[in-house]
Amino acid sequence: MAAPVLPPAKRKKEGPPRLETSPLLPVAAAGWSALPPDLVRHVADSLLATNDLDFYMDFRAVCSGWRAATDDPRSDATDPRFRPRRWIVLDEVFQSQGKMLLLNTDSGRFLHRELPLLNDHHVVATTRNGYLVLADKSPPHAVNVLNPLTRVVIRFVAPVPPKVGSAAVVFFDDSSPTLTLFCDSSHNVYTADLSDIGFDVLEGPGPEAEYDFFRKTVLAGVYADIEPAFHGVLDDLCSLLMSGDVAKFFPGGLPDATDLKWFPVGLGKHMLLVVNAEGSIFVLKKNIQIGKLVALDSISNYAIFMGLQRCLAVDAEKFPGIEANCVYYIENLGSSAHICKCNIKNRKVERISEAADFVKHGKQFVLVADRPLTIIHLLSSYTINIPDSQMALQQIP
């Protein structure tokens, strides 16, 4: 029998020459956990670059391979890559038990964070970059500094000093943290390193203006945001403020020091001074050539929020509804308050709402609840109040 004749084979078309295949090809079959470690680290580093530390922690939790390829924040709580930057903790009116609402003022991202540690500690203060200063509920009330994004705790030996307020800052000098706390009633400033058995005290009352300036730079985040080389600029601004150089910007003069409200604020690498005298707003900068303060007519795409207690600057492009080159400030009417907006260039001032935005309950201003809240209300609420230290409240007889 003759062998069957097979049909001619179809000639396979020649494609372009292929590059040498890499070990990545089997990934689809093996799953995401088989990604090469260098690629995993590259993705993780991109999250650290934008300070999305909560995303970084979620990323490491995917599988053991990804954890092995990335660094654990718990291995070194002082590592600068794992420090929160430009985060603020929105105040207690927005909190629930064991939870806090944070906002990244660089990116405009909100984060509702569950923090079980809050149930077992007193909240003493929050720092401008997002750290929470906690105290053990049981004596001697040792200090703990919580990073809410990584949930890593820096434990200090020293107990919380009595009657400290809610202003605080964490400094990192050669990666060793130092905690600074303020007491408004005595003007004392307390500092402690990790291993100190107690806080060192810079006793008051010193010059009230100097204490006030230092406290405001901490609350405005200036000391947390800038390089140490710029601290000299802050000293210059403080000197010019106390010299009375600000009065020249107000034709009617400043009959009383209480008429002037001011805050230092950092805009990029520039140190500015925002002043408000009865609704007249100026953003000032030191002119190095003449050694005097000069008024700016533009802060580019930034907006400044200036309250009764705190001040911060944000990139208006990241916050829809916020107008650039404006200062949003609080008009205090005693039992109520309005949010006002001043355009730096044309000096136009207007209220955000006809009705009051805040009403006073006790010592605090609270937002009027019968209207939708905007990002302007949230940021203004952050600047108008500072929550009392839970530790200090426990000490009140």
Is there a domain that residue 15 lies in? no
Tokens of 48: 């650290």
Last residue of a domain, one of 10, 40, 70: 70
If asked whether residues 367 and 333 sit together in one domain, one would say yes
If asked whether residues 195 and 92 sit together in one domain, one would say yes
If asked whether residues 275 and 323 sit together in one domain, one would say no
Is there a domain that residue 212 lies in? yes
Is there a domain that residue 373 lies in? yes
Q: Which domain holds residue 129?
A: 82-206
Is there a domain that residue 76 lies in? no
Query: Any idea what the CATH number is for the domain that residue 199 is in?
Result: 2.40.128
Last residue of a domain, one of 296, 326, 347: 296
Is there a domain that residue 172 lies in? yes
Is there a domain that residue 23 lies in? no
* 3-state SS, one letter per residue, for the chain: CCCCCCCCCCCCCCCCCCCCCCCCCCHHHHCHHHCCHHHHHHHHHHHHHCCCHHHHHHHHCCCHHHHHHCCCHHHCCCCHHHCCCCEEEECHHHCECCEEEEEECCCCCEEEEECHHHHHEEEEEECCCCCEEEEECCCCCEEEEEECCCCEEEEEEEECCCCCCCCEEEEEECCEEEEEEEECCCCEEEEEECCCCCCEEECCCCCHHHHHHHHHHHHCCHHHHCCHHHHHHHHHHHHHHHCCHHHHHCCCCCCCHHHEEEEEEEECCEEEEEEEECCEEEEEEEECCCCEEEECCCCCCEEEEECCCCEEEEEHHHCCCCCCCEEEEEEECCCEEEEEEEECCCCCEEECCCCCCEEEECCEEEECCCCCCCHHHHHHHHHHCCCCCHHHHHHCC
Q: Quick check: 99 and 132 in contact, CB under 8 A?
A: no
pTM of this prediction exceeds 0.75: yes
Q: What is the CA radius of gyration of the chain?
A: 27
Is there a domain that residue 6 lies in? no
Q: What is the pLDDT of residue 333?
A: 92
If asked whether residues 190 and 215 sit together in one domain, one would say no
If asked whether residues 224 and 235 sit together in one domain, one would say yes
If asked whether residues 128 and 54 sit together in one domain, one would say no
Per-residue pLDDT of the chain (397 residues; tens, 9 = 90+): 444 444 444 444 444 444 343 444 444 435 788 889 999 999 999 999 999 999 999 999 999 999 999 999 999 888 889 999 889 988 655 556 678 889 998 889 999 988 888 888 888 888 888 899 999 988 889 999 999 999 999 999 999 887 787 677 887 766 678 888 888 878 888 999 998 999 998 876 566 777 888 888 888 777 665 555 556 677 778 788 777 778 788 777 665 655 678 898 888 778 899 999 878 899 999 888 888 889 999 999 999 999 998 999 999 999 999 999 999 999 999 999 999 999 999 989 999 999 999 999 888 898 987 777 899 999 999 999 888 787 765 654 4
If asked whether residues 193 and 257 sit together in one domain, one would say no
Q: What is the pLDDT of residue 256?
A: 62
If asked whether residues 98 and 197 sit together in one domain, one would say yes
If asked whether residues 157 and 172 sit together in one domain, one would say yes
Q: For the chain, what is the domain count?
A: 4
d(CA 194, CA 145): 10
If asked whether residues 246 and 312 sit together in one domain, one would say no
If asked whether residues 286 and 304 sit together in one domain, one would say no
If asked whether residues 86 and 199 sit together in one domain, one would say yes
Is there a domain that residue 194 lies in? yes
Last residue of a domain, one of 206, 239, 270: 206
